[in-house]
Structure 1
């Protein structure tokens, strides 16, 4: 017969004063492995609810608490995952971390954040340091906006085996590990189409020197939108990821013999640099030149006029990515995910000025 709960007079406590899982199993009339399944939360579909109640009642009667540290060592699990981001100063990654941490907490996991020093994505592995030894205290890795090759020596995407399970965020799909991305191509296409509908045909592009999938996808989507409209032309300036450098690059575009009527920036930070360049040349936004950004960071509503941009769901990317990683740890490979962004039209875009 299935167990009905602990007897009225529970057995004496363990001689050391700390009851064990074996004591609980004996009192509940079940196997020790059943006790472990119940306390690990892995009983659904394997143990009846009646048995679960018996185990919990026996545990309460004996004052038993699982030794989590010992259990983690035994199972090779610490319930800790690593989140690798390019920088902590960018608000996009702050929101991404918040979403990831909330999703992890719902499943009793902790998150450690590591800012990778690699700007270009493949120059060196972010773990080529004494920090590399810490991977033995981790269960998995969530890495954002990086090249997979920079992690490949340390990690594995197949779950059990050498290394660590990995899920990539804002990274190229099809490289091996599961990915969770914003649909940046659709966002850039919508943004470029918005400018085309306003009548712009001469475009300047501010793109980062960082060589990652997400910026390549934005560039390809911008060019594809222009290819569908006759008479369009554009010039690209590459810049480091700072307001000052973006302003210098934007000045070069504005000083051209045939300057653009719209500056399309791959990030709101670069757009802030474009604003500085426009003011330096005495140009009004949007009367003389339109400016757009990407990401919808806080700076987009701080600049004047407020910035037309594409809002990316950073919080949801972090949460979805963490859920995918924890599913991978449970032995289920998640599908790649692409989350829609949103075009946010504000006051920085208008029809181009009349030709002189």
Structure 2
């Protein structure tokens, strides 16, 4: 290639390695790249990585491959990784599986770093020494984290419902022992408890529709049922809709419902779901940026991404107030 371009081998190496600026003229660099394209040259990445002692590969560990949220996390992470010449492999590790086992015989030889989304910090015990960044995890844990301000999101939901006049609120919580769900529960309890005359009851459920329907049913069958149900996840909210309709309850006429995450399901439900939008793609992107900084010897700071309350048609004033408003309006 050097002979075809009429330059030295070192010039070719500098241009193809991206280190030519300030050493070689732009015209010469363009000529080298044009020659490489004409000859069909492709760098041998495996040989380069072997020489550099790196794999240019990051592993993204997630609890599930079926949840749309984690698909968006991967999109954001892969976008940033690709810009820097890194690949991303995805490894599912369920919430209740204990410490993660490596899919590689020698993980330190197969991957350069780990992104772990929505998992406990001790899940990665087998990977001690591998640079890692935790996503949507306890910011007080070891190492850098990129999380969501889920407490603020839950306080926004509570403020919305309390502002509508709800005083009997139910929490259909995720039966998952993760920081993100503990933070949501604490924020909701604090916000509701700060208003006199309120009650908060809770039922726990795995994050799937049938179980959420049963958990919501237990709350709706109470002698004094809640007028609003706050869900830790949009999929849980879908189960709440089923429980309400099985009892002849209208959403939001008889029951207000809120979710969390704002995945596509939130606007597929009827009525569309009031929920908190969490920027999952941005979580993956910023997590990858932090990990790449760590791999370059930097010390990335932990950061928290804000959510956004999306008010839609699944919430309204509670039914006693609705009747009072109708009476005042002569309806």
TM-score of Structure 1 vs Structure 2, range by shorter chain: 0.7 to 0.9
Q: Counterpart in 1 of 2:68?
A: 91
Q: 1: CA distance between counterparts of 2:242 and 2:203?
A: 16
RMSD: 2.7
Q: Counterpart in 2 of 1:172?
A: 138
Q: 2: CA distance between counterparts of 1:107 and 1:245?
A: 42
Q: 1: CA distance between counterparts of 2:186 and 2:308?
A: 18
1:167, 1:321 within 8 Å by CA — same for their partners in 2?
yes
Mapping for residues 143-292 of structure 1, pairs under 5 Å: 143-156=116-129, 164-292=130-258
Q: Counterpart in 2 of 1:127?
A: 101
Instruction: Name the SS of the counterpart of 1:126 in structure 2.
Output: coil
Q: 2: CA distance between counterparts of 1:293 and 1:354?
A: 23
Q: Counterpart in 1 of 2:328?
A: none
Q: Counterpart in 2 of 1:71?
A: 48
- Could you tell me how far 1:75 is from its partner in structure 2? 1.7
Q: Does 1:50 align with 2:23?
A: yes
- Higher fraction of helix: 2
Corresponding pairs, count: 317
- Judged with a 3 Å threshold, the aligned counterparts in structure 2 of structure 1 residues 155 and 10 are, in CA distance, closer, same or farther, namely same
Runs of 5+ consecutive residues of structure 2 not aligned to the other structure: 324-331
Q: 2: CA distance between counterparts of 1:259 and 1:343?
A: 25
TM-score of the two chains, using structure 1 as the length reference:
0.82
- Judged with a 3 Å threshold, the aligned counterparts in structure 2 of structure 1 residues 275 and 294 are, in CA distance, closer, same or farther, namely same
Residues 38-87 of structure 1, C-alpha deviations (whole Å, 9 max, x = no match):
6544x4xxx86134769958966898875432221122211111111111
Instruction: Name the SS of the counterpart of 1:253 in structure 2.
Output: helix
Q: 2: CA distance between counterparts of 1:147 and 1:325?
A: 18
- Judged with a 3 Å threshold, the aligned counterparts in structure 2 of structure 1 residues 75 and 255 are, in CA distance, closer, same or farther, namely same
Q: Counterpart in 2 of 1:24?
A: 9
1:226, 1:232 within 8 Å by CA — same for their partners in 2?
yes
TM-score of the two chains, using structure 2 as the length reference:
0.87
Q: 2: CA distance between counterparts of 1:324 and 1:213?
A: 20
Q: Counterpart in 2 of 1:333?
A: 299
Q: 2: CA distance between counterparts of 1:177 and 1:258?
A: 46
State which of 321, 326, 332 in structure 1 corresponds to 2:287: 321
Instruction: Name the SS of the counterpart of 1:93 in structure 2.
Output: helix
Runs of 5+ consecutive residues of structure 1 not aligned to the other structure: 1-5, 12-22, 29-34, 157-163
Q: 2: CA distance between counterparts of 1:52 and 1:192?
A: 61
Q: Counterpart in 1 of 2:309?
A: 343
